[in-house]
């Protein structure tokens, strides 16, 4: 489907999880994945409020059902009957992970811990994404797993006798990745001793916080390492209210910053420091963006965010900051295009392994609406202050690219058409309704 975006009114109002009668921000994607999967590994009934009901979480829920896990989802509350670490039942049908690398990498870790045989597969896009980063360390732990060329999906796990535990290891990851870290932490639940995972930069630590709240002994001796002991007791079920997704809120943040006259409050948003690099960057760019701390739920900080139209200036983004805003580069590129002066992004080659090669996709798709971006090996350079033109773009099967293009369209001098924009439903259902309710002018076309 095509999304057609025209200049609308300023973006004004409030969006949050509990908007009465209005459209809501989605629950956190990373936390929804973890909560559904970890609840299945716990002993007893878990209750997860504000669960993200979207494409990428539906594939995980369907896989869990195939593995014999009982769950119900009513009005954004997910109830899971967890049966413990060894409760998955083998299923001869492949587990289809759709476009979701999070589903594939996390579920593989849980299956490695459980010992059941399974095949995990995904969409053509997911089949191109690197899986050697989980396959190689899992093999080192003794997990009977194979991939095509040891590198890509489909992944094949053979039966493992759970009376023989996996081997505890110390890993030094070559890339900072919360998905890889989580996969190994889950496998380590069935290891014969303490495992340690070291990263080159610190990625989001949702898994560590959630597992700790479930009674697992997991700690971070420093910001780059995590230590986990296999539990001697069953994992405690979850009772958790998830915050709104910061990475979804980021589209409204940038829309408000670059659209004259805008003023928006985003309420109950998760502000895990592994996710909020964009806040620091926007403040560095001169953006009027403030966070008001509100609550903590199962170890996760939650805030209300106030953002207003601002004159932005170019900025340099590099090093550890890249990891803390890894999902925000498509929308950040739109802010950088509008800002005054040059923006340089470095140390971001991981962007080439996301739902699309995001460096290439940003360069190509922004060029269709008149914004010139210079591609570098590990990032991009934008000379800001460029007018945004109308035009046709393609989102390359990437939900975040589609949403970034829609925000660019709000500020373009004529219509922007985004082909394949239904991908937005992978992570942000009601994106269009929510934006329109705040002043945007977007419409679906067949």
- Interface with ligand S3P (CB under 6 A): 30, 33, 102, 177-179, 182, 203-204, 326-327
Q: In terms of CB distance, is 31 or 421 closer to ligand S3P?
A: 31
Helix axes 246-258, 329-338, angle to 10 degrees: 10
The least distance separating ligand S3P from the CB of residue 217, rounded to whole angstroms, comes to 21
Question: Locate tokens 């805030």: which residue?
Answer: 303
The least distance separating ligand S3P from the CB of residue 33, rounded to whole angstroms, comes to 6
The least distance separating ligand S3P from the CB of residue 182, rounded to whole angstroms, comes to 6
Q: Which residues contact 222 (CB under 8 A, 6 or more apart)?
A: none
Count of alpha carbons within 13 Å of 113, Cβ hemisphere only? 27
Q: In terms of CB distance, is 179 or 267 closer to ligand S3P?
A: 179
Q: Which residues contact 5 (CB under 8 A, 6 or more apart)?
A: 405, 406, 409, 410, 412, 415, 416, 417, 418, 440, 441, 442
How far apart are the C-alpha atoms of 322 and 333, rounded to whole Å? 13
The least distance separating ligand S3P from the CB of residue 423, rounded to whole angstroms, comes to 14
Let me know: does 255 contact 13? Beta carbons within 8 Å.
no
Q: In terms of CB distance, is 29 or 160 closer to ligand S3P?
A: 29
How far apart are the C-alpha atoms of 85 and 113, rounded to whole Å? 7
Q: In terms of CB distance, is 258 or 403 closer to ligand S3P?
A: 403
Q: In terms of CB distance, is 194 or 349 closer to ligand S3P?
A: 349
Q: In terms of CB distance, is 61 or 312 closer to ligand S3P?
A: 61
The least distance separating ligand S3P from the CB of residue 157, rounded to whole angstroms, comes to 20
The least distance separating ligand S3P from the CB of residue 107, rounded to whole angstroms, comes to 12
**Catalytic residue of the set 304, 327, 394, 398:** 327
The least distance separating ligand S3P from the CB of residue 387, rounded to whole angstroms, comes to 31
How far apart are the C-alpha atoms of 44 and 191, rounded to whole Å? 23
Chain residue whose CB lies nearest ligand S3P: 30
Specify whether 327 is catalytic: yes
The least distance separating ligand S3P from the CB of residue 354, rounded to whole angstroms, comes to 6
Q: In terms of CB distance, is 160 or 209 closer to ligand S3P?
A: 209
Q: In terms of CB distance, is 99 or 190 closer to ligand S3P?
A: 99
How far apart are the C-alpha atoms of 202 and 225, rounded to whole Å? 8
Active site residues: 327
């Amino acid at each position: 489907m095509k999304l057609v975006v025209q200049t609308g009114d300023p973006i004004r109002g409030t969006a949050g999880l509990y908007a009465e009668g209005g459209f809501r921000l989605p629950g956190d994607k990373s936390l929804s994945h973890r909560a559904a999967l970890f609840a299945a590994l716990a002993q007893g009934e878990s209750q997860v409020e504000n669960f993200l009901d979207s494409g990428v979480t539906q594939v995980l829920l369907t896989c869990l059902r195939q593995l014999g896990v009982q769950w119900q989802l009513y009005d954004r509350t997910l109830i899971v009957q967890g049966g413990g670490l060894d409760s998955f039942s083998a299923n001869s049908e492949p587990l289809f992970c759709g476009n979701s690398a999070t589903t594939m990498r996390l579920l593989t870790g849980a299956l490695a811990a459980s010992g059941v045989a399974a095949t995990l597969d995904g969409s053509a896009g997911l089949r191109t994404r690197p899986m050697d980063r989980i396959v190689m360390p899992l093999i080192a732990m003794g997990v009977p797993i194979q991939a095509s060329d040891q590198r890509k999906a489909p992944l094949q796990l053979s039966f493992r006798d759970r009376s023989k535990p996996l081997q505890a290891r110390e890993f030094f990851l070559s890339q900072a990745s919360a998905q890889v870290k989580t996969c190994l932490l889950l496998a380590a639940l069935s290891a014969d001793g303490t495992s340690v995972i070291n990263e080159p930069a610190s990625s989001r630590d949702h898994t560590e916080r959630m597992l700790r709240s479930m009674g697992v002994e997991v700690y971070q001796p420093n910001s780059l390492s995590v230590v986990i002991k296999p539990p001697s007791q069953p994992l405690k079920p979850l009772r958790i209210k998830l915050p709104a997704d910061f990475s979804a809120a980021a589209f409204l943040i940038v829309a408000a910053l670059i659209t004259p006259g805008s003023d928006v409050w985003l309420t109950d948003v998760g502000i895990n420091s592994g996710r909020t690099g964009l806040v620091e960057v926007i403040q560095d760019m001169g953006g009027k963006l403030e966070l008001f701390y509100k609550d903590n739920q199962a170890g996760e900080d939650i805030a209300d965010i106030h953002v207003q139209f601002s004159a932005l200036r170019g900025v340099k983004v590099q090093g550890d900051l890249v990891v803390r805003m890894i999902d925000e580069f498509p929308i950040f590129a739109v802010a950088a295009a509008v800002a005054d002066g040059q923006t340089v992004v470095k140390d971001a080659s991981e962007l080439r392994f996301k739902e699309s090669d995001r460096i290439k996709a940003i360069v190509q798709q922004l060029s269709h609406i008149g914004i010139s971006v210079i591609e570098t090996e590990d990032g991009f350079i934008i000379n800001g202050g460029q007018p945004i033109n109308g035009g046709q773009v393609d989102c390359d099967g990437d939900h975040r690219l589609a949403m970034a293009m829609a925000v660019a369209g709000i500020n373009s001098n004529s219509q922007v058409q985004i082909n394949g924009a239904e991908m937005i439903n992978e992570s942000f259902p009601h994106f269009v309704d929510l934006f329109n309710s705040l002043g945007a002018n977007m419409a679906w076309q067949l």
